[in-house]
Homo-oligomer: A and B are copies of this chain.
């Protein structure tokens, strides 16, 4: 049994990690922290977990952590993980960090997007970007896993086969993402107030979304040359699920079967990728992956004007956050990739 601690356990990603780890048969949860709720029962904040665990939230401290955990999941705001990761690693524990702090390889790019000098550039190098479909081998025995952002995950998974196969000569993409409200986290804001958020179709962060940095890093690596990605997110009414519609202007129309084959080949053997094409539900829809770690990938081409759209549908709290973190954790600990992640998506919901 791997003893795990969840640092920052009161948010939605923390709650989703608990939901998964509680029934993960290689794992024992030994510590769950929350600054705000320390001392209070976990089920007070996560009423779905009533009856599952008697643990209270505790205050975070490196001392206590030391003898309690083998792996530490950090579900903290960006800029906060930075301060703990080096010490936790020194103490010999594995870190799965769900913040953006260790996702970018190039410190100068980090500075551009996050506005500060990264204090641990050596760790940027050592960290493995926790997208198992691209970094499976690096993840075996990784000590520091930087788990990707949700919009980045959706965008990269949609575009990876295109970038890798260089399906267009101009490598610039627009990822028009539709996201559900849980992506914004558990903290109420004016914009998340139900009467304002429900029935909204609301663009936001439309002039330089930070996940573009991750997406460009990963897709450029696959293409072997610089790729430009523009992510334009839109808040829609659902609570869970995200769809990326990644639009590409082609040089000329492609053979649909060829696009399908290259996509399928790229993802061959990847347990959490399902290629969707045809049938009653011809395109991916996050509705059909809810509660699971799947990314459904598909595409549509308008041959008349050489437009290709790659779609990817994920559950933003699963493949877009906690599920993917557990998947990477599994690989790095030598467990089957889908340990604790086998439940089919819930439908309809």
Contact = CB atoms under 8 A, between A and B. Distances in A.
Interface of A: 12, 15, 19, 22-23, 44-52, 172, 174, 176, 178, 181-182, 184, 186-190, 192-204, 206-208, 228, 230, 232, 234, 236-243, 245, 247, 249, 274, 276, 279-281, 283-292, 294, 296, 300-305, 307, 309, 311, 313, 342-349
Contacts of A287: 196, 199-202
B190 A192 contact: no
B313 A201 contact: yes
Contact of A347 (B19, B313, B348): B19
A190 B48 contact: no
Contacts of A283: 202-204, 206
B195 A348 contact: yes
A307 B170 CA distance: 14
A194 B126 CA distance: 38
Contacts of A346: 19, 48, 240, 290-291, 346, 349
A305 to B, nearest CB: 5
B47 A347 contact: yes
15 contacts: A12-B348, A19-B343, A19-B347, A23-B344, A48-B289, A48-B346, A195-B239, A198-B238, A200-B238, A201-B236, A201-B241, A201-B286, A230-B307, A236-B238, A290-B349
Contact of A232 (B46, B247, B285): B247
A204 B181 CA distance: 23
Contacts of A184: 195
A78 to B, nearest CB: 20
Contacts of A182: 195, 348-349
B234 A178 contact: yes
Contacts of A309: 203, 206, 232
B194 A300 contact: no
A188 B192 contact: yes
Contacts of A199: 237-241, 287, 290, 349
A178 to B, nearest CB: 5
Nearest to A179: B201
Contact of A279 (B44, B202, B289): B44
Contacts of A240: 199, 346, 348-349
Contact of A198 (B19, B207, B239, B311): B239
A289 B202 CA distance: 13
Contacts of A342: 23
Given A22-B344, A199-B349, A194 B181 contact: yes
B343 A288 contact: no
Contacts of A202: 281, 283, 285, 287
